[in-house]
Structure 1
Amino acid sequence: MPKFTGETGEKEADVKYKAILFDMDGTVLDTLRDLNAAVNRCMEHFGYPTQTIDETRQRVGNGSKRLLELSVPERTDGNKIGELLAWYLPYYNEHANDTTAPYPGIPEMMESLREKGLALAIVSNKPDRTVKELAAIHFPGLLETAVGENEAAGIRRKPWPDTLLAAAAELGVPIRECLYVGDSEVDVLTATRAGMDCASVLWGFRSREEIEAAGGNLFMTEPKELLAYILTA
């Protein structure tokens, strides 16, 4: 993919950040109902108790395998987790867009950032294929790249910084000129490991207190506030 040039039809804004990297789940897309439905279908298939939507909310953010590990009874055998994962991944990929939608104001915010010449990307712990598919469906023409977990290509899931570093490299933008936007303690840790500034949104899956406990110190309550911050930083 060619490196981002900032050529979007308007003069590039004189701002601190040249690229904005967004987490997907809980940050730009409300995926919770589809995640909960897929987990519960998997639990039912294997004879385990189903999960409430709030339980799923607290368990997402560390990849599909960890989500399943936290959803089954303690001391469930690792081989069984592998069976669940092999069933869950294709099922979720098929149903990942049943009810998923952007949070209100997100597409408009992205359009404004693009008009100002900023490069945009999505990074996620979802499998790379699913990330690219959802990004293309919901944000056509707004993103330069979308990067998901892809162990086969050497891109590990967050909190390893691999997805952030890969996206920044694709964009050709230095780390110091990138802002990472997420909604969880995992996102704060990932940004720290990547050496990237981090803004935390409060409309997602974690509370302010949980994010602060991980070291988060920059919070946004709505997309308009995030847009204003980026354009004046």
Structure 2
Amino acid sequence: MKKLVIFDLDGTLLNTIRDLGTATNYALEVCGYPVHDLESYPYFVGNGVSRLLERVLPEDTRTPANVERLRIKFMDYYGKHNTDSTEPYAGIPELLETLQKLGVNVAVASNKYQSAVDKLIYHYFGGIRWSDVEGQRDEVPVKPDPSIVFSILSKVPTPKDDVLYVGDSGVDMETARRACVESVGVTWGFRPESELRKYGADHIIHRPVELLSLLESSKFFSQEPVNDI
């Protein structure tokens, strides 16, 4: 049985897109820039706050100074409103509880800044015994750099063939590949299934409960590019 499951946060455990989009649009409006439809935000997020704010700016205004102006407004607003509309995806609380009962270690590896990750995990999943919860920190490169996975493994020593990495984007699949751990792409998140396939997901699942069938798998990196569940 797999011994450790590492989850991405946004788009995997929690649907955060409305709160992220609303906070970003607030920062854009206050700073005098045009806002975006909330439906466009799934393609802006995924690489940390700095890249999000850079992407939403008009192309000819994407300077470090302007990104920093947005960051100040975004951080203030999002810190106060990041649980307004955010909610766990259906089946996620039950999945986490089942993994805990089975004795499987669970961890989080997110490109969201650490204080927000800590707040959201405590707010929505406070009853889960997390082995490690890691967000974006200045000293750790953002995903798809695998450093965050290596950091988790240093705190939760686990053979790599006993690890599953679960996420909703190409960034997550690439992170798992670089860390040499088995990847599981989820289709209920922010990015389409085609992106998960493009970036070589080892497995694709459509409902959280389907992850349980992968726990017994002893095959590390299947011969097929993707195993549909």
Give TM-score scaled by structure 2 length: 0.90
Letter of the aligned partner of 2:169 in structure 1?
Answer: S
- Distance in 2 between residues matched to 1:213 and 1:228, nearest whole Å: 23
Mapped pair 1:24 → 2:28: no
CA RMSD of aligned residues (A): 1.3
The CA deviation string for residues 162-204 of structure 1, in whole angstroms up to 9 with x for no partner, is 2211122222223332110000000011111111111000000
**1:181 equivalent in structure 2:** 166
Residues 1:172 and 2:157 are matched in the alignment:
yes
Alignment of 1:146 onto 2:133: yes
Match of 1:50 among 30, 35, 48: 35
Q: Which moved more, 1:162-171 or 1:63-72?
A: 162-171
CA contact (8 A) 1:168 1:178 kept: no
C-alpha separation in 2, matches of 1:227 and 1:54: 31
Tell me, which stretches of 5 or more residues in structure 2 are unaligned?
Answer: 219-229
CA-CA distance at 1:232 after TM superposition:
4.9
The count of residues paired between Structure 1 and Structure 2 equals 216
Q: List aligned pairs for 1:31-180, cutoff 5 A.
A: 31-76=16-61, 77-142=63-128, 143-151=130-138, 154-180=139-165
Deviation at 1:212, TM superposition (A): 1.5
Identity between Structure 1 and Structure 2 (%) = 37
Summarize deviations over 1:10-62 as a string: whole Å, max 9, x none.
Answer: xxxxx1x1000000000000101100110110111111111112211111101
User: Which amino acid in structure 1 is aligned with residue 158 of structure 2?
Assistant: V
Distance in 1, matches of 2:37 and 2:124, equals 26
Displacement over 4 Å in runs of 4+: none
Separation of aligned partners in 1, 2:51 and 2:100? 34
Task: Write the distance in 1 (CA, Å) between the matches of 2:148 and 2:38.
Answer: 27
- Alignment-derived partner of residue 205 in structure 1: 190
Q: Does 1:228 align with 2:213?
A: yes
Structure 2 CA distance for aligned equivalents of residues 94 and 144 of structure 1: 27
| Equivalent position SS for 2:209 | helix
Shift of the alpha carbon at 1:130?
A: 0.9
Distance 1:87 1:51 in 2: 16
| Cα pair 2:182 2:202 within 8 Å, conserved | no
Kept in 1: contact 2:107–2:152 (CA 8 A): yes
How does the TM-score come out when normalised to structure 1? 0.88
Residue 116 of structure 1 aligns with an amino acid whose one-letter code is L
Q: Cα offset for 1:95?
A: 1.4
1:84 maps to a residue whose letter is L
